[in-house]
Amino acid sequence: MNDKTTIYDIAEKLSISAATVSRALNGSTKISSKTRELVLQMAENMNYEQNKVALALKSGRSKNVGVIVPHINRSFFSNVIRGIEEELSLSGYRVIICQSYDNAEKEMESLNALLNAQVDGVLMSISDLTSDLDFLLSKTIRKGVPLIFFDRKKDINGVSTVTINDFEGGYQATQHLINEGCKRIAHLRGAKSLQIYNDRCRGYKQALIDNGLEVNDEYVLETKSKIEAGTEAIKQLMKLPNPPDAVFSSSDFVALGVIKELKNLGIKIPENFCVAGFGNDPFTEFMEMPISSVDQFPLEMGKIAARVFLEQIDSPGEIKIEKKVVLSPKLHIRKSSSKKP
């Protein structure tokens, strides 16, 4: 009933040593072609399959990499993971996924579990909360396990990062709204503890400044990435004495909430109000009111993160230079912000 054949079984059947079997299977040159043939034949017959766990113990490489994301059931993250898996499976790596649920403690637990499981590398997008991951992260680096941040990064020595230029994304979206003739552009941003949101916000402000528009702090609100947060935020903004005529949101879901509520209020989009989101979530494209949004190229981001990992793992020397890859975002202009025909 138990099916597993080992090299010892093959060795016994052929009355040779396990070492020879191993060499034959691994194509060592130090072996006669007759023995090689015999071994390969017997391995085939006995349905031999290499036990990767034994190999991992011996070699110190498990051929597993860990990926930690806040939630896998979000379009952005599942696409990044897809990219990672697509790329790494080609090199024989398997991808172990962990969810942090935007919880720093869970995140540390996951990282720890992955390291104990002897993963060959960790690719992660850090959680929403500022936390003291540093100890664990530096341990990871010390262990020589390549660590790569994607999207949500932290600037740490020895850690490679793959991100998009969030500043540019924020700038592009805002510049576009200005080009459409909007004068009072609000910004709905994510948590201050994450660089990406700070960068997008900086881009937004810079675009305003570069175009001679006033930066009004009343126009900048922090929201969660949820539809309801968008409806709440826009309600609040529209109560201002001088309400905005456009919103640039760091989240597509928030942008959607904004649009829903504006419809409720009877405000015409895009004629009297323009909206742009961030993330280019698939739904932004196929809504009846397609939403302009900044593409983060999650699939590509995943693939590049995977390639950075492969480079690190293949680098012969112990001195690993971290790599910082920054992708250019691309604004997709859609109806929600297209006043011009």
Partner DNA sequence: AAATTTAGTGTTATCGATTGCACTTATTTT
Partner DNA sequence: AAAATAAGTGCAATCGATAACACTAAATTT
Q: How far apart are CA 269 and CA 272, in angstroms?
A: 6
Counting contacts by CB under 7 A, is residue 293 touching DNA? no
Count of residues interacting with DNA (CB under 7 A): 31
The one of a second copy, DNA, none whose footprint includes residue 91, by CB under 5 to 8 A per kind, is none
For the CB of residue 59, give the shortest distance to a second copy in the complex, in Å. 10
- Comparison of 99 and 250: residue with beta carbon closer to a second copy: 99
For the CB of residue 241, give the shortest distance to a second copy in the complex, in Å. 30
Counting contacts by CB under 7 A, is residue 20 touching DNA? yes
Counting contacts by CB under 8 A, is residue 113 touching a second copy? yes
- In order, the DSSP letters of 297-319 are -HHHHHHHHHHHHHHHHH--SS-
CB-based contacts of 273, cutoff 8 Å, min separation 6: 244, 245, 246, 247, 262, 267
Candidate list 1, 27, 34, 92; residue touching DNA; CB under 7 A: 34
The one of a second copy, DNA, none whose footprint includes residue 35, by CB under 5 to 8 A per kind, is DNA
Q: How many CB atoms lie within 10 A of CB 103?
A: 16
Q: How far apart are CA 262 and CA 116, in angstroms?
A: 51
| DSSP secondary structure code for residue 92 in this structure | T
Counting contacts by CB under 7 A, is residue 7 touching DNA? yes
The one of a second copy, DNA, none whose footprint includes residue 26, by CB under 5 to 8 A per kind, is DNA
Contact 137, 126 (CB under 8 A): no
Mark the segment that binds DNA (CB under 7 A) among 18-26, 101-109, 171-179, 210-218. 18-26
Candidate list 17, 89, 264, 328; residue touching DNA; CB under 7 A: 17
Q: How far apart are CA 87 and CA 304, in angstroms?
A: 9
Count of residues interacting with a second copy (CB under 8 A): 59
Where is 104: in which H helix or E strand? helix 104-116
Counting contacts by CB under 8 A, is residue 51 touching a second copy? yes
- Comparison of 178 and 275: residue with beta carbon closer to a second copy: 275
Site string for DNA, 60-99 (x = CB under 7 A): x---------------------------------------
- Comparison of 17 and 41: residue with beta carbon closer to DNA: 17
Contact 299, 200 (CB under 8 A): no
For the CB of residue 94, give the shortest distance to a second copy in the complex, in Å. 5
Counting contacts by CB under 8 A, is residue 99 touching a second copy? yes
Long-range contacts at 233-238 (CB < 8 A, ≥ 24 apart): 233/188, 233/257, 233/258, 234/258, 234/261, 234/262, 235/261, 237/186, 238/265, 238/267
CA distances from 282 to 83, 130, 229, 246, 264 (A): 16, 29, 20, 22, 24
The one of DNA, a second copy, none whose footprint includes residue 311, by CB under 5 to 8 A per kind, is none
Q: How far apart are CA 316 and CA 239, in angstroms?
A: 61
Contact 3, 48 (CB under 8 A): no
218-257: contacts with a second copy (CB under 8 A):
227, 256
Q: How far apart are CA 202 and CA 68, in angstroms?
A: 27
Q: Which two tokens stand for residue 328?
A: 């250019």
Backbone angles phi, psi at 66, to 5 degrees: -100, 145
Counting contacts by CB under 8 A, is residue 258 touching a second copy? no
Q: Which two tokens stand for residue 187?
A: 């910004």
276-295: contacts with a second copy (CB under 8 A):
282-283, 286-289
Q: Where does this chain bind DNA (CB under 7 A)?
A: 4, 6-8, 15-20, 22-23, 25-26, 29-35, 48-51, 54-55, 57-60
Interface with a second copy (CB under 8 A):
1-4, 47, 49-54, 56-57, 62-64, 71-75, 78-79, 81-82, 85-86, 89, 92, 94-99, 110, 112-118, 139, 142-144, 227, 256, 260, 263, 282-283, 286-289, 299, 318
